[in-house]
Amino acid sequence: MPFPTSDTLASFGTYIRFQTLGQTLAERYPELAHRIEVAETAPFYLKVDLDGKRGVMLAHVRFPYTIMWGLTGPGLAAGTSVLPLDTSEEALVDAVHAHVTAHLTSTPLPSPWRWHESEHSDLTELADLLDAQGVAVRRVAAGNRYSLHGPAYAPELVSPRHPSPHVDATVDGHEVRISLKPRLGWMVDLWCPEVDLWTRIDLNRSLGRPLSPVPGVPQAALSVDDLAELIGDGPRAWEIEEVGHIKEERAIGSGSLGYQDLFLTVLGQLGTFGFTDVYEGDTENPLRSEHFHIALHRPEKDLSAPALKALNGEAAAAGDDVPKRLMVITRSGLSKPAAAFADQAKAFVFQIDERTGRLTGLHGRAREVLPPRDKPDCQ
């Protein structure tokens, strides 16, 4: 008797997985037991019958580079949730139950499943509050960063492009992205279609609070209710930063920006990011700040951890009453140990493209202050 092939073993493993899901669903929600159907042969699926014709189905969905869980009801792709293959059994079962119950009782799908999420979070709570105010919530990306885009007959998988949990919404015709950054807290970005760029809403000024020299508002310092109310109030309540425009397209061979133009471009970006006390200096120190010690690093070699620690020591000594924090503008890169130290020291290290003046974050904390690069999905 020949040994089973790897494909046969994989198929059997998938079959067992679906059988286990069916059993777990019946045990957790016995009122659905008589409605559950699990396919005995490939393609495998778990189906919960609704009325003898329609049902809620959980199955594997193959995309060009990955396989996902697909959870769909009678509405087909319009209501399909796609979840990572490592989603827990409990989360999958609860999601199926939520969809089935909504259809059987003719009630809206509850949160967090209505947002294609499997767990409650500050982001799903924010989405609920915005929706209650009449704000069109287009996407929630918290625990689940995947969604479908395109026509129902040929949906495309949208993979995680934005590094932080966020909510995308349309407020009075304006596209906003509310992000919860791991290190810096809440940030809100506003899409400016006239220049095809994002700019930032200053949350502290909008809320009538003292300015912060660092972008973002710590999660503990701003309740979800207050944030939702501010967003729902619309543009009339928002203090919006000016767009730091960058000339992306320059003639080949045109070289770097002039010294003054380069740092004016950098200054504009830092203002857009939300650094509120960085201002124009002189020829020797083109960027100044009361809160930051801003160092320019010109060597071609990547900035090392010892070099960054030395600069951090200079920053600490630069303050009159309290130590200053470090900000570095460099044309080189950053070593991994230096990146780890930069996050630990709450510093910001940006790489500068001398042809355009564009700043790129070289470690986690610096990347968190950058506005999104992608356009809103609706564009």
pLDDT tens-place string over residues 329-349: 999 999 999 999 999 999 999
pLDDT at 284 over 60: yes
Q: For residues 56-79, give the mean pLDDT.
A: 83
Nearest C-alpha neighbor of 54 from the set 88, 15, 104: 104
Q: Map tokens 């009159």 to a residue.
A: 320
Q: How confident is the model at residue 77 (pLDDT cuts 50, 70, 90)?
A: very low
Q: For residues 199-226, give the mean pLDDT.
A: 96
Per-residue pLDDT at 252: 43
Per-residue pLDDT at 59: 95
For 126-162, how does the pLDDT look when each residue is reduced to its tens digit (9 = 90+)?
999 999 999 999 999 999 988 888 777 778 888 766 6
pLDDT at 371 over 50: yes
Q: When comparing pLDDT for 224 and 241, which is higher?
A: 224
For 20-67, how does the pLDDT look when each residue is reduced to its tens digit (9 = 90+)?
999 999 999 999 999 999 999 999 999 999 998 899 999 999 988 899
* Mean per-residue pLDDT of the chain: 90
Q: How confident is the model at residue 290 (pLDDT cuts 50, 70, 90)?
A: very high
For 82-140, how does the pLDDT look when each residue is reduced to its tens digit (9 = 90+)?
999 999 999 999 999 999 999 999 999 999 999 999 999 999 999 999 999 999 999 99
For 310-335, how does the pLDDT look when each residue is reduced to its tens digit (9 = 90+)?
999 999 999 778 899 999 999 999 99
Q: First vs last Cα of the chain: how many Å apart?
A: 59
Taking a C-beta distance cutoff of 8 angstroms, is the pair 266, 357 a contact?
yes
Measured CA to CA, the distance from residue 332 to residue 204 in angstroms comes to 33
Angle (CA) 347-164-210 rounded to 5° is 55
Per-residue pLDDT at 378: 62
pLDDT at 306 over 70: yes
Per-residue pLDDT at 161: 66
